[in-house]
Amino acid sequence: MNSPIRLGIDNYALRSLGWKAGQILDHAASLQLDAVLFSDFDVYESLADDHLRDLKRRADDLGLHLYAGMLSICPTSVIFDARRGTGEEQLRLCLRIAKLLGSPVARCVLGKVEDRRSPGGIAARIAETLTVLRPVHSEALDAGIKIALENHAGDMNSTELLELIDAAGRDFVGATLDTGNALWALEEPMDALETLGPVTVCTGIRDSYLWETPEGATLQWTSVGTGLVDWPAFFRRFAELCPRAPIIIETISGRPISLPMLRDDFWSAYPRATPQIMSKLLRLARAGKPREPFTPPPGTDGLRAEREQQLAELESSVRHCGELFRELGGAGRR
């Protein structure tokens, strides 16, 4: 790691605090970070041009680089929200926000794992996402902004996402690599990095843990450094493949996700899966031990406990990444 990688946070990591963009910026500065990803529209107090320009100036004063994002652009995804218009209209809105904030990316997603079992499967949702991307080709190029599609919530594995990016065009579409979502899509984070690294322009970083269950395995995300990912190896390879992309921490700890791989009906949503995929995941699961999901201690304020947990998990991840970056020679702002 010859040059420093930007270290930042996703506002979703602090979702229970209800903070708006300005408060997120202040917290990121207090942690001596380099970047913030605003991954949804609701984090802003206003979408007016003047407000967004003021937010950019505030970030500049704090030494923070901004990255802009939104959720689903696929009109038939189970998580698509039509309140702000069509997928194309919302993507154009995200591009406008990104330009005003000085963001090099407009991060977005297709959907989530349930879309794999929708009519036509994930292939149909990918085709629909392409119809949203293509009309904004010129606008993205003119703005100098890459649309950064994420492997999100088990919707696509890295190969499927790369195929989508190539079908749209690498000149204006890249990847947001999410390490936690990689395992939800049945692949190891390092494998996802190898596939998506050359097109990665943004990230969502957290650790993961697997353990065996009677129906297959359970996945649970953790703070960076407390799961199964070999982070020194990951960050070294990351610096080789996509050194200009930021490391954006998005902790979502203590939320178990069932992967019932031993059920016959499970694999119908993964028509291109191979036996090697299941065997690799089962080996990882057999090496793990069950972990309890996060629950507020008895007699405590549940929301307050959740907020404290999110702050602690984020700060633990920031410390771990900072220590690793210094050891690997990639610390410092740029």
What are the pLDDT digits (tens) for 96-123? 999 999 999 999 999 999 999 999 999 9
Q: What is the pLDDT of residue 234?
A: 98
The CATH number covering residue 170 comes to 3.20.20.150
Count of beta carbons in the 10 Å neighbourhood of residue 295: 11
Q: Is the alpha carbon torsion for 30, 96, 129, 41 positive or negative?
A: positive
Q: Does residue 1 form part of some domain?
A: no
The model's confidence at residue 2, banded by pLDDT at 50, 70 and 90, is low
Contacts 24+ apart (CB under 8 A), 264-271: 266/216, 268/117, 269/113, 269/116, 269/117, 269/121, 269/122, 270/116, 270/186, 271/121
Which residue's entry shows tokens 């549940």? 302
Averaged pLDDT, 112-140: 98
Retrieve residue 15's tokens. Answer: 């979702």
The answer to the question of residue 211 being in a domain is: yes
The Cα–Cα gap between 69 and 256 comes to 25
In a domain, 2, yes or no: no
Q: pLDDT category, 334, cuts 50, 70, 90?
A: very low
Please check whether residue 243 lies inside any domain of the structure.
Answer: yes
Tell me the pLDDT tens digit for each residue of 29-76: 999 999 999 999 999 999 999 999 999 999 999 999 999 999 999 999
User: Which two three-digit tokens encode residue 126?
Assistant: 């990918």
Asked whether residue 24 is domain-assigned, the answer is: yes
Asked if residue 266 is part of any domain, the answer here is yes
Which structural domain, as residue segments, surrounds residue 93?
A: 7-328
Sign of CA dihedral 33, 36, 42, 45: positive
User: 260-319 pLDDT, tens per residue?
Assistant: 999 989 999 999 999 999 999 999 999 999 999 999 888 889 999 999 999 999 999 999
Q: Are 211 and 217 in contact (CB under 8 A)?
A: yes
Q: CA gyration radius for the chain?
A: 19
The model's confidence at residue 333, banded by pLDDT at 50, 70 and 90, is very low
**Is 260 within the bounds of a domain?**
yes
28: in domain: yes
For the chain, how many structural domains are there in total? Answer: 1
202 pLDDT more than 80:
yes
Cβ contact 161:126 at 8 Å:
no
Average pLDDT, the chain: 96
Is residue 330's pLDDT more than 70? Answer: no
Maximum C-alpha span of the chain? 56
Cβ burial, residue 250 (10 Å; 0-12/13-18/19+) = buried
Angle, alpha carbons 247-17-207 (nearest 5°):
35
pLDDT of residue 329: 83
Among left, alpha and beta (phi > 0; psi -120 to 50; other), residue 245 is beta
